[in-house]
A and B are shown apart, each in its own frame.
Chain A
Amino acid sequence: MTSPASASESAPHSDARNLPRTAVIVGGNRIPFGKAGGKYASASNQDMLTAAIDGLVARFGLAGRSVGAVAAGAVLKHSRDFSLTRESVLGSALSPSTPAYDLQLACGTGLEAAVQIAGKIALGQIDNGIAGGVDSASDAPIAVSEGLRKALLKANHAKTTPAKLRALASIRPVDLAPQSPRNTEPRTGLSMGEHQAITTKKWDISREAQDELAAASHHNLAAAWDNGFFDDLVTPFLGLARDQGLRPDTSVEKLAKLSPVFGKGEGATMTAGNSTPLSDGASVVFLAEQEWAQANNYPALAKVVDSEMAAVDYVSGDEGLLMAPAYAVPRMLARQGLTLADFDYYEIHEAFAGTVLSTLAAWESEDFARDRLGLDAPVGSIDRSKLNVNGSSLAVGHPFAATGGRIVASLAKQLHAAGPGTRGLISVCAAGGQGVVAILEAV
């Protein structure tokens, strides 16, 4: 098993600034994120992704036109959705001649989709494209048990009636129970929250700090809605015009009253208030080559400067499940010749308040820098007033694959408003001990 430190050494040191072309973010669209079992309870992933695309098409006048590629995905996926993105494109107002494909990288799906489209643009393969993601915790697939599935397949393959009957006779009552999707890691059997509880405890993150971060997320999101920040980023869907999980009047005091749900005993700090709720939603981002955007009268909000992925060994307990971005960011900064302080905004996905705070703690730790990253000095600390300034997943909700697109579009708009040259850092943790991070810079 490769240790994270050696993974860092083997990371490619290509000069990302030397790409042939520049990919910029033109804009984005998402539907308001709903609570699982809420307004979108009967909407499918395809319904939501199509709605997100159609809102984007309307905003940028793309009806009947095609783009170079549409890349999107979902984490919880029905087997019938093997071509989810292409099917959504066909149901949308885009031209049917628009190519599309699915990808899947757990909670990193949306960000990785944007990175892939940006990469295709930078390499000159396409001039423009749409990246996105969708997830429904309400309309999650329910599978049959392995026993039933194997028996049915065997019966299907059997050539004679007695053979078919023999295959079906092997089904036992226990096989008939449906297998509902579980938010657990296949290799550890622990839920994501249980994993994070271990990390949160290891980094000694206090309950109060987590509740403060959660309250700030809700307050920032409420302010962003009130001042019209989302007017050109969100299109309502099925009667929902704002994020359903938003609680504008929550407070540290109110959050302090909730009982812990992850971790055990005295030291348990993680509650439903400082963990993201199960959510439904979809988001898309429109990217284009910078000169193409200019020539075709599309805004260029920010360019995609660089991206990095990382993975950690959480199975053996060597590292926390959601800590991969703590490794990816220093590698990307080194490649770009930047420090953690060189950013105007930070978007660290709030899977749990504990995830954000553990990651920040790791970057501030000398031991982590020395032992894990092989660096002489800590990665650094950030100005917390620049973190998740328009709210993040704790308040917005987190339909897994839709989070990346939400962050990319919002951050690009923030950076554009702040002026050319301003920089933003995105960090998204994902199941399987993985993480995707990226740098955007306003143009």
Chain B
Amino acid sequence: MADLYTTITKNPFGKAVTSQLGLPQPSRLRRGRLMPTGPVVLGAIKGASVAADALEVLGQAHEQALVDAPGSRTEDENGRAQPPAYPGKVGALIVDASSATEIADLEQVRALVRPALKALEPSARLIIVGADVAADQGVEHSAITQALEGITRSLGKEMRKGGTANLVRIQRGVTGAALASTLSFLLEGRSAYVSGQPIVVGASESVCEVVNRPLEGQIVVVTGAARGIGAGIAETLARDGASIVAVDIPAAGDALAKVTNNLGGTALQLDITGPEAGQRIAEHVASRFGQQAKIYGIVHNAGITRDKLLANTDEQRWGSVLDVNLAAQLRINDVLLTPGLPGGLTDGGRIVGVASTSGIAGNRGQTNYAASKAGVIGVVHSLSGELNDREITVNAVAPGFIETEMTGKIPAATREFARRFNSVQQGGLPVDVAEAIGYFLDPASQAVSGQVLRVCGQSQIGA
């Protein structure tokens, strides 16, 4: 589903004109559970092995990355020194910098990335694995940690043809098994619209295998599922095997029924701001799946906008947005987390929120919305720690410009700007947000909690 401009650039004449004018040349992104076509190459600094372990867990073969050292360069016909060249296209480069401790180690990162950049295939992946260093582990080590983020964000912008660059920060004790689900997500087409982002992976003992249908037989509740991103989330999670409980307001019931019937879930028409919303979700689950049934995951996707400059915002516009987008999910979580509640959230389960780049960067005319979405980020930070003992992970995605019916109504010029002003030069699709949520929901992502992952194609907004 390409937008009009992308379609024009795919036509020979359109391509010639837009290239001449120096206009963006968006690529068709690799999506879904597809690995890169070319080989995955790996370079490790100072003998780090966690990334290699993770690839082994995934059953993913890899090749040794080339290193750009003065001795390995050759001269081209103009007498200029060129880094060693890969024999063919490279699908992904992983730089395991988790053992880097000194500024001098960063030279190794440069030396590993440089040869690969010239050989990357379209929708290629560049993944840097670094350590997640606590402030008390030394100034230089801490500086390194942050430097890797600067490298990643810049490389995200240097990548072409739908390629992405991301950073995985691993805490002490993280094994290949704990890292595997994150590496799998970043390598596959599922992370098509995620670039320039850091993800922290913690240590966890109970990590299961990465499989193709990780949510098989699990009950997942998706609010706001009748259309747009919510419908995409429901469809993608159903593809991954989940039994979807699709929730939306009663007035959207017909669209909700269509989505539900397409994926074989059950529909629950519910105003999530009602005082009994959490109870009604639990009752629905207990009644449809049995008194012993538990929710494995809940995706708080339902949200509204009531955009106005703050100068024109009354308590009605202010309050309704905060109630739907933020307060409602707090009330629902409280109920579903009640221990022993039939149809409640299981220990070892998942809570996923939907924030927004507006919540990170702020947006003129969206003060109420930004407050609610930044609030979602606050929920993730607090609740993830609180629920650590119950092995419930709490994360959020922060979508940028996603092509939906809603964003289709933005005035054309504004829409075109939002769509292109990112590293992959196009809008994301609902499935891109859904895939990131699926990654958080994956039982193999037990070690990933407290994260807010931007799904924005490395949008310049809020960067």
Contacts and interface: CB of A to CB of B under 8 A. Distances in A.
A93 interface: yes
B289 to A, nearest CB: 6
Nearest to B270: A231
Nearest to B271: A228
Interface of A: 51, 54-55, 57-61, 63-64, 93, 228, 230-232, 234-238, 241, 297-299
A54 B261 contact: yes
A55 B266 CA distance: 10
A235 B269 contact: yes
Interface stretch (B63-71, B246-254, B356-364, B382-390): B246-254
Interface of B: 246, 250-254, 256-258, 260-271, 274, 287-290, 293
A236 B271 contact: no
Contacts of B263: 63
- Residue from A230, A236, A238 whose CB has the most chain B CB atoms within 10 Å: A236
Nearest to A235: B253
Given A297-B288, A297-B290, A58 B270 contact: no
Contact of A236 (B251, B261, B262, B265): B251
Contact of B265 (A51, A61, A231, A234): A61
A59 B280 CA distance: 13
A235 B290 CA distance: 24
Given A60-B266, A297-B287, A297-B289, A54 B250 contact: no
A61 B264 contact: yes
Given A60-B266, A236-B252, A54 B288 contact: no
Contacts of A57: 257, 261
Contacts of B266: 58-61
Contacts of B293: 297
Contacts of A64: 264
10 residue pairs, one from A and one from B, having the closest CB atoms = A58-B257, A93-B261, A58-B267, A61-B266, A58-B260, A235-B253, A241-B251, A63-B261, A63-B264, A236-B254
B254 A55 contact: yes
A237 B274 CA distance: 23
A236 B260 contact: no
A235 B261 CA distance: 13
Contacts of B253: 55, 234-236, 241
Nearest to A295: B290
A237 B251 CA distance: 9
Contacts of B270: 231
B254 A235 contact: yes
Contacts of B268: 59, 232
A270 B260 CA distance: 45
B269 A232 contact: yes
B257 A235 contact: yes
Contacts of A231: 250, 269-271
A237 B254 contact: yes
B230 to A, nearest CB: 15
A51 B288 contact: no
A58 B267 CA distance: 5
Contacts of A58: 246, 256-258, 260-261, 265-267
A409 to B, nearest CB: 14
Contact of B258 (A54, A60, A61): A54
Q: Is the interface of B mostly helix, strand, loop or mixed?
A: helix
Contacts of A297: 287-290, 293
Q: Is the interface of A mostly helix, strand, loop or mixed?
A: loop
Contacts of A232: 268-269
A228 B290 CA distance: 24
A58 B256 CA distance: 8
A237 B256 CA distance: 11
Contacts of A298: 287-288
22 contacts: A54-B258, A55-B257, A57-B257, A58-B256, A58-B258, A58-B266, A59-B268, A61-B264, A61-B265, A63-B265, A228-B250, A228-B274, A231-B269, A231-B271, A232-B269, A235-B256, A235-B257, A236-B251, A236-B252, A236-B253, A238-B254, A297-B288
Contacts of B267: 55, 58-59
Contact of B254 (A51, A59, A63, A228): A51
Given A55-B257, A58-B256, A234 B250 contact: yes
Nearest to A62: B261
A406 B260 CA distance: 23
Contacts of B257: 54-55, 57-59, 235
A236 B254 CA distance: 5
Contacts of A299: 287
Given A59-B267, A230-B250, A232-B268, 16 more contacts: A55-B257, A55-B267, A58-B266, A58-B267, A63-B261, A63-B265, A64-B264, A228-B274, A231-B250, A231-B271, A235-B257, A236-B254, A241-B250, A241-B251, A241-B253, A298-B287
Nearest to A230: B250
Contacts of B258: 54, 58
Contacts of A234: 250, 253
Contacts of A237: 254
Contacts of B254: 51, 55, 235-238
A54 B265 CA distance: 12
- Residue from B260, B269, B274 whose CB has the most chain A CB atoms within 10 Å: B269
A246 to B, nearest CB: 15
Contacts of A60: 266, 288
A299 B289 CA distance: 10
Contacts of A236: 250-254
A158 B258 CA distance: 50
